Structure 1
Amino acid sequence: MDDNFINEIKDAWNDYTYNGQITGIVNPIIRESWERCKKAGIDYNNGYGKRVNDKQLENILNKNIELLKIARPIMKNLHTLVLGSGFVLVLTDKEGLIIETIGEENIKKEANLFNFSIGSIWSEEAVGTNAIGLCIKEDKAIQTIGAEHYCEYHHAWTCSASPIHDDKGNIIGSLDMSGRCDKAHKHTLGIVVAAAFSIENEISLLRSHELIDTTIESISDGMIIVDKSYKINKMNRIAEDILNLKREVAKNIDIRHVIKDIEFKDIFKDNKMILENMDCNFFINEKRIQCSAKITPAISNGILIGIAIIFKEVEYIHHTVNLLTGNKATYSFGNILTIDEKMKKIIREAQKFSKTKGCILIEGESGTGKELFAHSIHNYSNRSEGPFVAVNCASLPRELVESELFGYERGAFTGAAKEGKPGKFELANGGTIFLDEIGEIPLDLQAKLLRVLDSFTVTRIGGKYDTKLDVRVIGATNRNLYEEVKKKNFREDLYYRLNVLKINIPPLRERTEDIEICANYFLDRLNTIYSTNKRMSSEFLDYARVYKWKGNVRELENIIERAYYLSEETLITKEHLPDDILNRSIEVEQIILDGNNLSIKDQEREIIIRALIKTRGHAIEASNILNISKSSIYRKIKEHNIDMNLYKKI
């Protein structure tokens, strides 16, 4: 620095401190600072930094630990560049308190004489005009040379300081480079500004990394970042949990060794390629983990620098699919309405079957409630929290049966979804698959179904790997499968594999006692929906009892609903029945008169039951209807082994 300037500024300082006059040579920023110092009563003969106690210093260092961590290596590099030039590097907090110094020992020793050391405050208010305090106050880089310092004790020094900002532009500290006044050079300030800028960049970069890390950790899926050399660079906690792999172990593993069924080189060649909903296998420590992944290229300035892989475990995907598609059992055994002893025995057997793992075959005519039993078995089992996937095999086009049941990999056949698709068996994993109308499965696919039931593994069409299943299989048919086996329409080995536990549901015409119960249930439900109080006439019910109900409970429900809508009055009569039921009036009346050619004993039992149904289980009222004594009806009830409690529930 020019000696003339140093002398001139010294003269200017003397004029101001002794005479109160400031010449034009003084920098306006310096002049304003001198005026503030004088007004504040700062002693220009002093200039010693004010020290804080050890506890205060410890707290301040802890608050600035991030700044220290980032600034130290930059200060060390800078010191290496200026080594031997007679300067000391100083880092302060936002209040001007020195928190780090790096420099040659002889320079640091001189600086320590006036407390220019760690733990001392070098704000303008504490030690007068100086580069550290002024750069923080003015929020700009400042160089003070010689007598530009307000305190005379500092005139032998030159200081260059620059504020340091965080990523939001707030001052968090300053970087200063101080040395003997004769070493002053205008380039010194530029060096300090560049170093402070480097610190700010590192802080911004750290914030960016923290934001990225926070974003990655906040994602509910597993996430892996792979660099352009195929090495795993970063992964989140969810990925650790899914893969059971710590991120420090995963770092630098070649992703091609983890996901083997994806051509990553194609993704890196085409930086616009995005793969979504890809079913893929992660191989970790010889274990295969099935996942669904989205793979996206990471582009910077038009250049691919890596890829991001976001993935979920397939089990989670299947659980979500089951929730969205309603793959859940909704009925229980309590929904099965019956007072028939044979039917109640079947329910008890089904409840026992529910607690086993064996396949269950349900046979019965259409409309008898096979699906109702399947739902109930699932909900009564220890799989009740798992999925219940119902498949109507009769409604599946022949060419789609295999892909629907067993799934397919991407590209397995023309028209296949590019990401592949899980089959119904995979979706039912952990729960129950209900194969309704199982007798309709094509003969050539029955062999594959048998293999699945034997091994409880499934291989997708076009797939390389087997998927282990934990699934209960319930089959249902309105055919007699044994007869179908004889006709060569159904595989015998598959029949016996399914027929571990068998349930035969009797048609409604074989349990006439349930007709009125079911009819009343359907009517009560309609009354509740429409806020009405309709009821059925006894004649209406008589016709219902003797009708053959080829459509079983489903047909009965439809007839009750039809009669409900047709009736304009409260009472539903036989006129509200369809013609095919009314045309049997001669048969109905004959049955009413002679008990449908039953034996005398069975006729008597039927008449008593009918009376109990009408009186909802009240024996005395029933005796009045039948015109017999109280003692006679109780005796006959006991004689015919009739449970009155059953009819009180009607």
Structure 2
Amino acid sequence: MSSSASARDSRPVEKLQEDCPDGCAGLDATEFYSDFSVPGTSHSLFWKKIYDERRQFHRGEPAQFTAIRPHILRSWKRSRAAKAPYRGLPSVRLGSADLERIIDQNEFFLSTAKPIMEELLDNIHPTSNCIILTDTNGVYLHTLGDDMGAGRRASSPLRGLVGSENIEGTTAMGLCLAEKASTCVLGCEHYNPYFDSWSCAAAPVFDFEGNLVGSLSMTMERDSFNHHTFGLIISAAKAVTEQMRLRHLLRETRTIMDLLGEAVVVLDAADRVRVMNHYARRMFHCAEDVAGKPFADFADVVGEDDLFESEQIVKDSECSLRLADGTALQCVYSSSPLPEGGICLTLRESRRVHKLTNRITRAKAVYNFNDILGESRSMHKALKMAHKASENSMTTLILGQSGVGKELFAQAIHNASDRRDQPFIVINCGTIPRDLVQSELFGYEAGAFTGASRQGAPGKFELADGGTLFLDEIGDMPLVAQVNLLRVLQEGEVTRVGGKRSRQVNVRVIAATHRNLTQAVQNGTFRNDLFYRLNVLVINVPPLNYRRGDVRLLANFFLQKITPTLGKRLDGFSPGAMHCLEAYNWPGNVRELENLVERTAVMADGPLIRRDDLPSEIWMASSGENLGEDLGEPFGKPVGSAVHEPFCGPVCGADLEPAAGLFAPQVETATQPDIQPGGLWESRTEPLEESNHSRERRRIIRALHASSGNVSAAAKEVGVSRVTFYAHLRRHGLSLDSFREE
């Protein structure tokens, strides 16, 4: 069909097709081929024989077809089987919508072949030849030529024609697509005599996987063909195939580079950009076209770091950059020199590296305000202040006794703020050795001290960059570390231990302590300037003994939380057990309550937790009162109810640190906590505590007098077991002998 494209719009229909049904009569074959010569062929008799054998083939006459090349004969047979026309002008053209769809599907092939076709036409210019690019179905995707209607425009009238074997019969492009091999079809070798005045050559084009994608062909006047033309087409088709393979490899490489999650920059020996991936362009705030530009146009290296002069491979080192728009950028980079000069760099923003580290180590807040339970007025006041703190990034100080839930408040503030998607880093200043506090907080450079990593390490402030740093037990921080902390809070800069360069960080600090910071300032153990810097937003979390109305709520919640893990039925607390819980002083606050509920739930038989299931220290707190029978409805739900209320969240009001001393022998009093200087809640319980101790002693003495020293009877009177009664005797220094003598 390659010949048909040129013939349809440029030459009259020969008398050969007008006068003879089979395309053979009305013209002397010798005369027809008298001027047609092919290199290596000196006479027209050979072509006359091809002409005659084709006529015999069309008429169905028996013949040996000795003059027909095998692949030409195979094509004739396929064309006849497909009922391709062997006379007249065959023409099939796609509609515009179908053509555009096929053009889009072959965009990569088309965009690769066009420049090569242009170069090929320029090398044979001026010429009447037509260069044609088709897809695997023979659809004309693109044509080039100086005449014959091909033109150099995208709107060439030949686009959209279909030149497959089953439509046009034997042509170079149809045969090439059918057998996936380079070929040429000359003059009367065409299946349809309509194309006898033309010669054509075609070569297949393959993609990177070796799949056929189309053909590249050239059509010319029959006398213009030579084997050099055939070689040009084969070379051009191979060039398209190779270029497609290289472009695919380049696209694949660029895709991989963009998916690396880090900036990739290749510089030449003069520090000009050769390659910069999408991540790097975004990091350096530059436009798409950066090739050939100096790297200094985008960023300058700050400090003593030297990214470009190293002749060795560098892995995971750190550098500071200043972008052209003034933005400071901390990076982790690796570099490798190139054999031909220049260097290949990979860079990752330190903040992104730290964020990935934090995600792997689960350095994030998990609790929200919904997870904090409490209905007391003091708790509502603390929550209101915490909500205010979440609306900004100001430094916040949380005060409260151990176990009240200070970290829970800190996490809720973080998750309600605009930093919720950033790191939440926790450091307990009271558990880190004094010599390591500064390196933990601020990081250290390589070789800063014995045992330091060769590459240095970031501190908690760098890891928390963009997010929140929770400094628990800040009252225990050494004075030397307090100086550097004050500088970070004021300047937003961190200097690593052993380092000279400051690093910008954007960190929201939430501090917490159980200590009286005002008293610590007076004692000289806490800097007053740091105290004033921290004392911006202060949240006082009340102790549990100041919000006894929340004991019932928390106890039921903790019981609901643990019951599914025990495999038994626990419906709640009996009135006597709940009375004991509400009467106890809870020196360990919510943490102690949670631990006690878990322990008691494990030991209780159910379905109710009764007073006898509680540790003696708990129910002795209410021993001076008449509890009545430990029977009746459970607190919070009917007896026997198997329905558990839905959980409202995880640990409510408890710090996420180990409890110290589970059951302290303290009892409920009429204590009212005071807010001491510095904001801490402290209970003044000593006088009333002594009163309860005396009251308990008198009750034991009365029981012993009434029973004449009989331990079983006295223990039953008091309402405890014999073992517990003996323990109380030892605690109060009482002897049974004195009662028995009486």
TM-score exceeds 0.5: yes
Cα distance change of structure 1 residues 304 and 417 upon mapping to structure 2, 3 Å threshold: farther
CA distance in 2, matches of 1:538, 1:24: 116
SS of the aligned residue for 1:161 comes to strand
Q: Where does residue 653 of structure 2 map in the other structure?
A: none
How many angstroms apart in 2 are the aligned matches of 1:344 and 1:328? 22
Q: Which residue among 250, 261, 272 is the counterpart of 1:209?
A: 250
* Alignment match, 1:619: none
Amino acid at match of 1:318: K
CA contact (8 A) 1:226 1:255 kept: no
C-alpha separation in 1, matches of 2:267 and 2:215:
36
Mapping of residues 197-596 of structure 1, within 5 Å: 197-216=238-257, 219=259, 221=261, 223-226=263-266, 228-229=268-269, 230-235=271-276, 239-248=280-289, 250-255=290-295, 258=299, 260=301, 263-265=306-308, 269-270=311-312, 273=313, 275-276=315-316, 280-281=319-320, 283-288=322-327, 290=329, 295=334, 307=344, 309=346, 311=348, 314=351, 317-318=354-355, 321=358, 324-328=361-365, 330=367, 332=369, 335-337=372-374, 339=376, 358-375=394-411, 378=414, 387-408=423-444, 415-416=451-452, 421-429=457-465, 431-461=467-497, 462=499, 464-471=501-508, 473-503=509-539, 526=562, 530=566, 531-533=569-571, 535=573, 538=576, 541=579, 545=583, 549-568=586-605, 570=608, 572-573=610-611, 576-577=614-615
Aligned partner of residue 430 in structure 2, secondary structure = helix
Answer yes or no: is 1:148 the counterpart of 2:189: yes
Q: Does 1:165 align with 2:201?
A: no
Q: SS of 2:301's equivalent?
A: coil
1:71 maps to 2:113: yes
Residues 585 and 104 of structure 1: CA distance in aligned 2, closer, same or farther (over 3 Å): closer
Going from structure 1 to structure 2, the CA distance change for 1:36 and 1:492 (only over 3 Å counts) comes to: closer
Question: 1:30 aligned to 72, 78, 93, which one?
Answer: 72
Matched letter for residue 239 of structure 2:
S
* Aligned residue-pair number: 581
Q: Distance in 2 between matches of 1:486 and 1:175?
A: 91
1:406: Cα distance to partner?
2.4
Report the equivalent of 1:21.
63
Letter in 2 for 1:500: V
Q: CA deviation at 1:449?
A: 0.8
Partner of 1:641: none
Q: Give how far 1:328 is off.
A: 0.9
Instruction: Tell me the SS of whatever aligns to 1:3.
Output: coil
Q: Is contact 2:443-2:459 (8 Å) kept?
A: yes
Q: 2:234 aligns with which of 193, 205, 213?
A: 193
Partners of 1:408 and 1:423 within 8 A in 2: yes
Aligned 1:637-648 pairs, distance under 5 A? none
The more displaced of 65-74 and 196-205 is: 65-74
> For 1:134 and 1:179, how far apart are their aligned partners in 2?
17
**Does the C-alpha gap of structure 1 residues 226 and 52 become closer, same or farther in structure 2, counting only changes over 3 Å?**
same
Residues 163 and 173 in structure 2, CA contact (< 8 A), matched pair in contact too = yes
Q: Which residue does 1:630 correspond to in 2? A: none
Of residues 384-393 and 312-321 in structure 1, the stretch that sits farther from structure 2 once superposed is: 312-321
Q: Which residue does 1:610 correspond to in 2?
A: none
List per-residue Cα deviations over 1:384-416 (Å, max 9, x = no partner).
666543321011122332232223466766655
Q: 1:232 to 1:37 in 2, by over 3 A?
A: same
CA contact 2:300–2:323 (8 Å) conserved in 1:
no
Distance 1:392 1:192 in 2: 76
Does the 8 Å contact 1:92/1:175 carry over to 2? yes
Deviations along 1:71-93, whole A, 9 cap, x unmatched? Answer: 34323433454457x77242141
Q: CA-atom RMSD, angstroms? A: 5.1
Cα 1:87–1:444 change in 2 (3 A) is same
Contact 2:374/2:380 (<8 A) preserved: no
Question: Partner residue of 1:136?
Answer: 177
3-state SS, counterpart of residue 30 of structure 1:
helix
Higher helix share: 1
- Could you say which residue in structure 2 is the equivalent of 1:607? none
Does the Cα contact within 8 Å between 1:224 and 1:309 map onto a contact in 2? Answer: yes
Structure-2 change in CA distance of 1:280 and 1:5 (3 Å)? farther
Residue 506 of structure 1 and its aligned partner are, at CA, apart by 6.0
Alpha carbons 1:389, 1:433 under 8 Å: kept: yes
Alignment partner of 1:287: what SS? coil
Structure 1 residues 410, 148: closer, same or farther in 2, change over 3 A?
farther
Note closer, same or farther for the CA distance 1:395–1:6 as it changes in structure 2 (3 Å cut).
farther
- What letter is aligned with 2:236? A
CA gap of 1:413–1:80, structure 2 versus 1, over 3 A, is: farther
Inter-partner Cα distance in structure 2 for 1:56 and 1:372: 63
Asked if the contact 1:225–1:234 (Cα under 8 Å) also holds between the matched residues in 2, the reply is: yes
Aligned to 2:327, the other structure's residue is in SS state strand
Tell me if structure 2 keeps the 8 A contact 1:161–1:192: yes
Consecutive unaligned residues in structure 1, runs of 5 or more: 604-650
1:68 and 1:383 map into 2 onto residues whose CA distance is: 49
**Deviates most, 143-152 or 185-194:** 143-152
* Separation in 1, partners of 2:92, 2:589: 97
1:92–1:5: structure 2 CA closer, same or farther, 3 Å change rule?
A: farther
| TM-score (normalizing by structure 1) | 0.70
Letter in 2 for 1:91: I
